[in-house]
Structure 1
Amino acid sequence: MKTFKYITLFAAITTSLLFVQCKDEDDNVIINATCSDGILNGNETGIDCGGTACLPCGEVLDFSGTYIQEDQMGRPGINTVFGSTGFKDAFNVTVPSEMQAAFQSKFQTNLLTLNAGYTTNALGLNAEVFTTVLSNDVLWLAQTGITTYFNGTEILTGRALSDDVIDVSLLLIFGGPDGTENPTLTSDGVPANDVAFSSTFPYMVGPF
């Protein structure tokens, strides 16, 4: 039984010619600061913005060069579980519109290797249909209704922070048609965070 641990890091840097948003680490206040002679002068006198997010006057971020995609994680753990040596890297750099044609059959082979007795899962999906859904590694989002990865009724309408996506994935792989098969394989044993989510963006608990 493997336990997967994911740490999601969020970072946002906003720059323009006239204004820079900076974070004052002392009191977590976001201030609008303007440049004057290379010094960032904010709404709060004496605040030293500091850090790489705050650039000297006239300096702009350089986005020139060639960039390549390094990772694909629409749904946590999909490539970790279904990707194999030889195509994990290829999967990470494939655009979603091309994923199903390239990887569905490989995912199906690996699904049946993980669970040779797989017939259908709690969503009623057979191996071919299930891996067709999984191989298109994007996070769906319903614009109305409940946002949930899977709550027993709604299916992949988004992802709430408290959704246990690893348990959902394990349940759909090993739980069988009614979700009760292989009970020792349908949970990673981590039911919730040990620290509460933040009430402000980005809501995730910081690394510690």
Structure 2
Amino acid sequence: MKTLKYITLFAAISTSLLFVQCKDDDDNVIIQETCTDGIMNGEETGVDCGGPDCEPCGLVLDFSGTYVQEDQMGRPGINTVFGTDGFKDAFNVTVPSQMQAAFQEKFETKLLGLNPGYTSNALGLDAPTFTTVLSNDVLWLAQSGITTYFNGTEILTGRALSDDVIDVSLLLIFGGPMGDENPGLTSDGVPTNDVAFSSSFPYLAGPF
């Protein structure tokens, strides 16, 4: 009889990635159990644990504990720009349904502090309307049509990997109604990735 204990490092990493915005206070993600030929937890499994099909034995996910939200990132960079006046952490732990009431006025104050001459932007949104959209930090996704953060016509219908979301945000904050105001402030000067996106899932570029 062979007894194997699986130290499931990769399973723990995979599970933690699924809950990137959460924290389990007891940090117990995996229960490691002993798997003996054909028997697991005292019950017959029909699996020969000395063979290639034994691998599932002992892999038990533990979802008990208390989970709390630690981060919020519907649209990249929003909290980085607007949450700098002492409420960044509060914003991160607020659920989207409560964000507008809690943060819209703070966002508007920050917007007008960044751009005192703000009237409207390339989307035609005045300061209260624009900050209402921004303070509800979720990434909208159209069920049909083009997926784009902003391509000059479609707006916030999702996010393609190649979308320059920082430039779009700067344009909407500083560019004015026609997008031609404050040209030195409407781009971060980084036009593309250093590394090409992958052609297979998950499509993200590799480390550089």
TM-score per shorter chain, which class?
A: 0.7 to 0.9
Structure number with bigger Rg: 2
CA–CA separation in structure 2 for the residues paired with 1:36 and 1:142 = 49
Secondary structure at the residue paired with 2:179? coil
Shift of 1:86: 2.3
Highest RCO, 1 vs 2 (Cα 8 Å, sep ≥ 6): 1
TM-score normalised by length of structure 1: 0.75
Q: Residue in 1 aligned with 2:182?
A: 182
TM-score normalised by length of structure 2: 0.75
Displacement over 6 Å in runs of 4+: none
**Root-mean-square deviation over aligned CA pairs:** 1.9
Secondary structure at the residue paired with 2:206? coil
Matched, 1:140 2:140: yes
CA–CA separation in structure 2 for the residues paired with 1:84 and 1:182 = 22
CA–CA separation in structure 1 for the residues paired with 2:48 and 2:123 = 60
1:38–1:57: 8 Å Cα contact kept in structure 2? Answer: no
Secondary structure at the residue paired with 1:116? coil
Q: How many residues align?
A: 165
Secondary structure at the residue paired with 1:60? strand
- Calculate percent identity across the aligned residue pairs: 80
Q: Structure 2: where are the runs of 5+ without partners?
A: 1-12, 19-46
CA–CA separation in structure 2 for the residues paired with 1:38 and 1:128 = 66
1:36–1:57: 8 Å Cα contact kept in structure 2? Answer: no
Letter in 1 for 2:49: D
Matched, 1:105 2:105: yes
Q: Residue in 1 aligned with 2:63?
A: 63
Q: Residue in 1 aligned with 2:93?
A: 93
Counterparts of 1:11-160 in structure 2 under 5 Å?
12=14, 36-37=48-49, 41=52, 57-160=57-160
Q: Residue in 2 aligned with 1:50?
A: none
Cα deviation code 1:73-103 (max 9, x no counterpart): 0000000000124211111011111100000
Secondary structure at the residue paired with 1:159? coil
CA–CA separation in structure 1 for the residues paired with 2:120 and 2:50 = 63
CA–CA separation in structure 2 for the residues paired with 1:164 and 1:186 = 12
Q: Structure 1: where are the runs of 5+ without partners?
A: 1-10, 15-34, 43-54
Shift of 1:207: 2.8
Q: Which has the higher helix share?
A: 2
CA–CA separation in structure 2 for the residues paired with 1:59 and 1:158 = 36
CA–CA separation in structure 2 for the residues paired with 1:207 and 1:133 = 33
Shift of 1:56: 5.8
Q: Residue in 2 aligned with 1:6?
A: none
CA–CA separation in structure 2 for the residues paired with 1:205 and 1:119 = 38
Q: 1:186 to 1:63 in 2, by over 3 A?
A: same
CA–CA separation in structure 2 for the residues paired with 1:203 and 1:75 = 19
Letter in 2 for 1:65: G
